[in-house]
Each structure stands twice: as C-alpha cells, then as structure tokens.
Amino acid sequence: MHQPSLPLSQDLVLIGGGHTHALVLRKWAMKPLPGARLTLINPGPTAPYSGMLPGFVAGHYSRDQLDIDLVKLAQAAGARLILGAAIGIDPATGTVEIDSHPPVGFDICSVDVGITSDMPALPGFADHAVPAKPLGPFAEKWDAFRRGDGPATVAVIGGGVAGAELAMAMSHALKRRKRPATIHLIDHATALSALPDKSAAKLRTAMKALNIVLHENVQITLLGKNTVSLDDGGTITASFITGAAGARPYPWLADSGLDTHDGFLTVNDRLQTSDPRIFAVGDCAHMAHAPRPKAGVYAVRQAPVLFHNLVSILAGGPLKTYIPQKDYLKLISLGKKAALGDRFGLTFTGDWVWGWKDRIDRKFMDQFDQLPTMPTPPLPFPRAKGVREAMGPKPLCGGCGAKLGRDALSNALASLAPPQRSDITPLPGDDAALLTTGGERQVFTTDHLRSFWDDPAVMARIATHHALGDIWAMGADPQAATLSITLPRLSEQLAERTLTEILASAQTVLQEAGADIVGGHSTLGDELTIGLAITGLCDRNPITLSGAQDGAALILTKPIGTGVIMAALMSRKAQGAQVAQALDGMQHGQKTASHILRDAAQAMTDLTGFGLAGHVQNLCAASGLSATLTLDAVPVLPGAGELSERGEHSSLYTNNRAGFSNIPDSPQTRLLFDPQTSGGLLAAVAADQADRVLDALRSAGYTDSAIIGRLHRGQAGEVSID
C-alpha cells in the first residue's frame, strides 16, 4: 500500500543566511525533523563568508569562493528560500515582515542577520561611502573599483582589526594591479586598542611597510565626494571610502519589542530571546550570560547548540546551554599571503600562518560544496512494462517543463467535437477562446503550473504572470480570474498561512494588471500546483497566431533559458545567482509590452512550454509562412548557455526537439527548444516598424527585447537558422 506523505505541522523560520544558520541548514540536510517546514529568509541567493573577505579584497580569492550558495544549501535541506530582506518581526502575531514578500508566519524563529557598518550619524556617509558590512554589496563595489585604472586613493574609517585588515588587503590588491595607491586608515581613538601591545605593534609595522597612512585620535566632520574632512582642519582625498567601524544592529531588531542591549537582541544561555519561541545568534545577538566581542568563531560554535535547540523545541524536548570560550585564535591577514596569529598573549607571523588560516577557511567553505544528497530509490520489481520508458531519463521538471508533449496534446484535442454554441469562437493554438457576451468580446484562457520553487508566494506570482501571458498576447485587457490551488499536506494552520501568501501574491499581480480574483478552488495533494482561469476584455479583434505577413520581423521581449536553469536547479548544477535572475525574470509582467505591441503586431503569442522554436513554428504554420532565426540575436538568461553546454536540459526538451531535423545540434541551438515558464511575448511586426517598436520596448524597461529573425514565403511552419 502507498505510504501517505507526512503532513507538515510546524513552521521554523530562519531569518538571515549567516554562518550559524548556514551550518544549521547543513545539519538539517543530514537529519531533518519530520513534520517541520523549514524556511530561510535572506536578501540574496548567496551569503559571503567574512573570514575570506580580506583575502578576496587582496585578490587571493574569487568572488565565487567568497560566497555560500544558499540556493543549493536550502535545496539540500529541503527548505524554502525566500529572497527578500526581513524588516520586522512581530512576536504578538508570530509573523516576519519582508520587504518584497507577504508576511511569513512562524511557530519557532531564529535570527542571524549580522550587523551593518553603516554610519547614519556621520554626515555624507550614506551618499559617499560604502559600509564594509553587509559584505555582499561591499564586495561588489570593491571588485569594480579595483579593476579601474590610474592612481587610487582609499580611506578606511575604523582603526580596529577589521579596518587594518581591509587597509592592508586594499594596498596589496592595488599594488598587484600596478596602480599607485595611497591608503588612509582613520580612527577617532587609538588604533588596534583591542589587541595586546605586541600584536598591535606588529600590525603597525606591517601597515607602515605597505605605506598605509594612519590617522589616530581625529574626528571626521564630513564626507564629501572623494573627500574626508577632519576636525583638525585637515582634508583627505579618497576615491573609495569605506567604513569598518561603528558596527551596529539593524534598527528593526529594537522595534520588535524583544529585549535588546544597545540594539542587539539579548539572548540567554540557550540562545533564546525574551520570547522563548525566538532565538538569535551571531553578531546580531548579545549573550547576556557571557558577553563577548563580535567574532565569527562564536557564530560557528553556536551552530550545534542552536540546531539541537530548534529541533528539540519543535519536538517538545529539553534545550542545551551554550557557554562561549573565553578566548579564541585570531588570524589576521597582512595583505599579501601572510598573516598574524594571536592567542593567550602569544603573537606569531609568517607565510605559514596564512597557510594555516587559508586551510581553516577553505575547510569551512568546502562543507557547503559537499552537501548531502538523497539517493534515488530503485524502481520496484516486478513492475509493469514501459514504466522506465515513461519516466524518461530525467526527473519531471516543474513549471512549463511539466507540460504534456505536443503530439499527445494535439491528438487528444483533435478528439473534441466542435463548439455547439454560436457565441464561442475557438482560437486554435492560442490556448484560448473568444466569447461574445451581450455584444462584448472576451478572451478566456487557463493555465496551471507544477511548482519548481519552494516559496509559494513566488510560485503564485510566476503562475499569475504566466497565465496572463495569453491575455496580453491577444491584445486584451485582463478582467477576472479564478484560482485552482493544490497544497501539499499541511496542518490547518500551515495551510492557512500558505494559502494567504498565495492569494496575496496573485492578487497583487492581477490588480496591477487591472483584474480581480472572483473565486476558485483549493485542495490538498502531493505537491503544490497553482492554476488560473482568466477572462480579458477585447475592444478590437484579438491578435492571434495567424495574420503575419511576408517580410515581418520577429520580436521577443524576454530572454530564454528558464527551463534549462530550473532543470539544473533540480540537479544542483545551477548557481544560486543564476536561479535568482531566472526567478526574477519570470516575475516580470508583460502589460506594458502588450500595450506597445498591440497596435503593431500582425500576429503574437507568448512563449511557454513548447520553446522558442515550437512557438515560432506555430505562428508560421497559422500564417502560412516560414521563419529564419538569427541565433546570435536571441536573448539568453545568464548561465543558460553554459548549462546547455554542460548537457543540462528540461525533461520536455526531447519532445520539443522532435521535428526540427533541419536545425543542427549545438549548445546554443538546444536553447531554442527549452520550455519557457512566464516567457516573453513573440510578435510579428512589419519590418519598417520593428526598430521603432524595439526602441519603445527597451525604453519601457524590456531591455532584453530583440529582433530575433524574420518571416518569409516558404513551406508553412518551417523554421531555420542563419
């Protein structure tokens, strides 16, 4: 008998992808708690590792080596990843407020958001300086600056260990690029005062050797464009200004109503805040039972205790205590591949110390590249004939990658009798019908997506934009929608939370499009699926697949590649940043593009599961023309080409590829058969209007829009490439 899936009954929410939470996710991947839904909220798809930041700044590590890929980590842990910044937590309602997402409910929550070195009280800082934390934005801006040319001047605010490491790393990086550089390190008190005298003296010597100018016991009065004004009347010129001092907590922590110390969440020896359901770790937490300086070593050591306590409190068990060590090994980068070590009053330097630090850092990061995987269960035996063939060589994709093949679909549709009503006009190939009601013309369409991303709010936005594509492609204006939702097995409370997120997200997209939700249906099943039936009002003849003229240009409004990226996500071959860009693109609507194209398009469709080549073929067949595509002109999502070259493709690819023997096989041409979810509009536009329309699309924000080919006389439905 089939074993039913276990319902999810508790929500565990991790706010922030800091070091502690990253380690908790890895532990969860190895031993998850059945019945608990795990959610990670983080602004981006990666989390930089602070221990390797000086090495990155100096040029010893690449940007990729600095980052923990949270997409792969969350996937290994079976967690949903919400890409957004937490901006509030409400213990009274048990919800987390997010800047780009509906509120998320929790039963148990943990906070690991780190700190910021932004200095709002320093005049001019927000406009002219780059805080060293959060690390991600800082790393991006430094990477761009160091690649410049000519003499460089840098000012680092904050003469602690972090500031000294940054200054030395910057000096080394600019020297390697043969850029004459002057680095200023500024502190309002005595620099390096937290270190023992011997270690501080060695660091001062190292900085002097790198020509770093140290300014101590001076106050900054104003930051201007490329200038730092001091209270002694001096002015420092700097083309890159950063702040490594004044580390402070995010303001929303103090607004939560939880107990805080100088804005940091106060925690007990079990890492709980004043609300026992909410934990806090890392730099954003103040350990009232054993105060310690902000250091990554404590975050790492907190991970096993936090993991145990989260699992235990969800299951109703006892909690462990966390007692931090009194001292820890400090390994401080000296710019080049050398480092200074300090512990228990001992100081040691040299290349070997760098090697030691490098091994520690790489070992920490390696564990996030070597994530546990669930083995694929073997097929049962005996089994019915044809099971293996029906399963295919790849797991079933989500989104439009899960569509039925074209032949099976068209053959099934051919068995239907023609409409019996005179007020219904089918639009074959357009996935819609034209209804006439009281003299008004409506287009009616439906679409349904199998989930491929664990955030139901994101899937709701994508599914809604995807379903609206048919309305926009016909030049209509959306009117009303009903939703059909299948949720995985959840407790009543979790089902309500999930459904609320879905409805809020779908409603936002529909209302922006000018439509309203008027009803729907929901049920529980094996997995999340979201479908919409939508009507649209049409005050003109709808734009269909037929009607394109000889010589027309083909315009595409979005890049392709969602299918291969989502397939690579399933096999953990896609980078988190690539996945995030694809998800973002699928959540961009086509309303404005439709309004620009509707007066110029001779024929139009939206790109979905049959891929670019399949939809071009449909348009050509309906219009009695052939098409020639300019392969290099087709816009492609970042990473899609590389993944295609490595052999990644959707489970629907083989079916889409059939029937196009005249198109040679290459990584680039394979993307023509990649199924698209919430793809762009494909329009045939008169050649003499195409450039004007393209300029209008790009000016409206559809910057990837392109003229990708032309239509011409020939065998109807034939598609070739230049």
What distances in angstroms separate CA 421 from CA 424, 435, 444, one per listed residue?
6, 10, 15
Ordered DSSP codes for 505-534: HHHHHHHHHT-EEEEEEEEEESS-EEEEEE
Phi and psi torsions of 523, nearest 5°? -155, 165
Q: Which of 20, 22, 26, 53 is CA-nearest to residue 357? A: 53
Query: Is there a catalytic annotation at residue 400?
Result: yes
Spatial contact of 399 and 677, defined as CB atoms under 8 Å apart? yes
> What one-letter code names the amino acid at 646?
R
CA distance 567 to 393: 13
The two structure tokens encoding residue 53: 């930041």
Q: Which residue is it, tokens 């839904």? A: 37
Q: Write down how long the chain is.
A: 722
Ordered DSSP codes for 144-195: HHHT--S-EEEEEE--SHHHHHHHHHHHHHHHHTT--EEEEEE-SS-TTTTS
331: which strand partners? 341
Ordered DSSP codes for 109-157: EEE----B---TTSTTHHHH-EES-SHHHHHHHHHHHHT--S-EEEEEE
CA distance 536 to 479: 5
190 CB-contact burial (10 Å; exposed 0-12 / middle 13-18 / buried 19+): exposed
Spatial contact of 171 and 211, defined as CB atoms under 8 Å apart? yes
User: Residue 227: which H helix or E strand, with range?
Assistant: strand 227-230
CA distance 656 to 411: 16
Spatial contact of 693 and 622, defined as CB atoms under 8 Å apart? no
Q: Which of 685, 691, 673 is CA-nearest to residue 710? A: 685
> What one-letter code names the amino acid at 696?
A
Question: Which of 109, 284, 397, 400 is flagged as catalytic?
Answer: 400
What distances in angstroms separate CA 580 from CA 290, 331, 565, one per listed residue?
39, 34, 10
Spatial contact of 57 and 142, defined as CB atoms under 8 Å apart? yes
Q: Which of 361, 367, 341 is CA-nearest to residue 66? A: 361
How many CB atoms within 10 Å of residue 440? 11
Q: Which of 185, 174, 330 is CA-nearest to residue 243? A: 185
Spatial contact of 300 and 23, defined as CB atoms under 8 Å apart? yes
Active site residues: 400
